[in-house]
């Protein structure tokens, strides 16, 4: 502490958990500025994974389904997870097994780039399934 006072600087405890605790003689303002800069750089380097959502209907046409699957592929290649949501309307509720069949078809078409992250789940009038990018897929 005397050395710090003589130098006109501050005594900063760097790692209090060590035995003995590590302290450094530095300018507190400069030390704090460098720490915040370092934390900001770490946050910038972190990759956040978003969940993108694709909504489809039971009576979707083949061409429309291909367009949705192409968009899904783009999301997956960008590193996002994709949640495909099927909404049942009216009398479609009586034939929920058709939705599972449609999801099996979608899964087979996406098997080259995606794996199922969460299997198909029925929640009220919605059937959802979540895909994530295969680990061995191209970047």
Mutual orientation of helices 97-110 and 62-77 as an angle, nearest 10°?
Answer: 50
Please name which of 107, 67, 100 lies closest in space to residue 86, comparing C-alpha atoms. 100
Return phi, psi of residue 76, to 5°: -65, -40
CA distance 22 to 84: 52
Residues 66 and 38 in one domain: no
- Give the pLDDT confidence score for residue 86 in this predicted structure: 93
Residues 82 and 55 in one domain: yes
Are 54 and 106 within 8 A, CB to CB? no
Residues 26 and 55 in one domain: no
Work out the number of other CB atoms within 10 angstroms of the CB of residue 120.
18
Write the CATH number for 113.
3.30.110.10
Residues 55 and 40 in one domain: no
Domain assignment of residue 11, yes or no? yes
Return phi, psi of residue 116, to 5°: -75, 120
Residues 55 and 31 in one domain: no
Report the domain count for the chain.
2
Please name which of 118, 53, 125 lies closest in space to residue 88, comparing C-alpha atoms. 125
Domain assignment of residue 17, yes or no? yes
Convert the pLDDT of each residue in 16-61 to its tens digit: 888 888 888 888 888 899 999 999 998 888 877 789 999 999 889 9
Residues 64 and 124 in one domain: yes
pTM (2 d.p.): 0.62
Residues 73 and 105 in one domain: yes
As a whole number, the mean pLDDT across the chain is 88
Convert the pLDDT of each residue in 63-79 to its tens digit: 999 999 999 999 999 88
Whole domain around residue 30: which residue ranges? 2-45
């Amino acid at each position: 502490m005397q050395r710090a006072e003589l130098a006109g600087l501050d005594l900063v405890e760097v790692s209090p958990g060590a035995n003995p605790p590590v302290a450094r003689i530095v300018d507190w303002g400069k030390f704090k500025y460098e720490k915040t800069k370092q934390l900001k750089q770490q946050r910038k380097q972190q990759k956040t994974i978003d969940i993108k959502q694709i909504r489809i209907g039971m009576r979707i046409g083949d061409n429309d389904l291909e367009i949705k699957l192409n968009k899904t592929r783009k999301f997956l290649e960008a590193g996002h997870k994709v949640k495909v949501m099927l909404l049942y309307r009216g009398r479609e509720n009586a034939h929920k097994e058709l939705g599972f069949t449609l999801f099996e078809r979608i899964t087979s078409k996406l098997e080259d780039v995606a794996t199922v992250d969460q299997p198909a789940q029925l929640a009220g009038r919605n059937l959802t399934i979540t895909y994530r990018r295969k680990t061995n897929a191209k970047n």
